[in-house]
Amino acid sequence: MAGIIATLLVTSLMDSLNPSAIAQTLLFLGNERRKWKILVFILAMFLTNSVLGLAVYYGALAPLKAGYDGLKTQHPDLVFHLSLVLGILAILIGILLGLYKYFRTKKGKETEKRIEEKQETKEISILSMFFMGMLFTGVELTTALPYFGFLTGLVSHYLGFGIILLLIFLYSFVYVFPLLLVYALYVAFRNNRLIGKFEHLVGKVSAYILPLAFVLVGGMFLISIV
């Protein structure tokens, strides 16, 4: 069991060093009026990572993987061209949205003061925050090699469901711990002048989050066919 715990801590710590998740948490902290809602986002990541881990361990996702592998083997050209089209389309949408946001602000259709006022009262619903946490974790799971490595090693130990559940919960907690730490530090020092400047900066760049997300998704599609 000591070896399992050691492997768990090493792999989960590697998995937790996720710049994109930390950046997303910082963007929420700088742009969401009710900061406690970020905990809903983190909770969703914890639960989704745990549920997907159990699904991978018990083979619930095996039929989906087998279906995708079969499609890729039998119709490689279809998968290639579909991924290529979706990737290029997502990148183009991201670029067009970014240009639209840029020129809309530049032309002065909304002054900076009005934008900041809107952002100060801007709120994301709890359900939306939870859904984004689920979606974010689901997308990240496709590249979570440390997690897959830990789960693969866990299969050979023939442990009971309760122990498996506890270990996966522990892994998921370590996985989201850096986000909890970022949240705690932000709340502790939120009255600091640097935090105020950070919120002001995030308010300006937050309009470009959606365009950037489209570009990143498009990039993932293109990388998958390389």
Instruction: Give the pair of three-digit tokens for residue 21.
Output: 């998740």
Residue 187 binned pLDDT confidence (cut-offs 50, 70, 90) = confident
The set of residues, in sequence order, having a beta carbon less than 8 Å from that of 69 and lying 6+ positions away, is none
Do 14 and 171 meet the contact criterion of CB atoms below 8 Å apart? Answer: no
**Distance, CA of 4 to chain centre:** 26
The string of pLDDT tens digits covering residues 20-52 is 777 777 777 766 677 788 889 899 999 998 998
Task: List the chain domain ranges.
Answer: 2-224
Quickly list H helices, 62-75: 62-74
- Kindly report the length of the chain: 226
The string of pLDDT tens digits covering residues 120-168 is 445 677 888 888 888 878 777 766 778 888 887 787 777 788 888 899 9
**Cα–Cα distance for residue pair 58/127, rounded to 1 Å:** 28
**Distance, CA of 154 to chain centre:** 25
Q: What 8-state DSSP symbol labels residue 158?
A: -
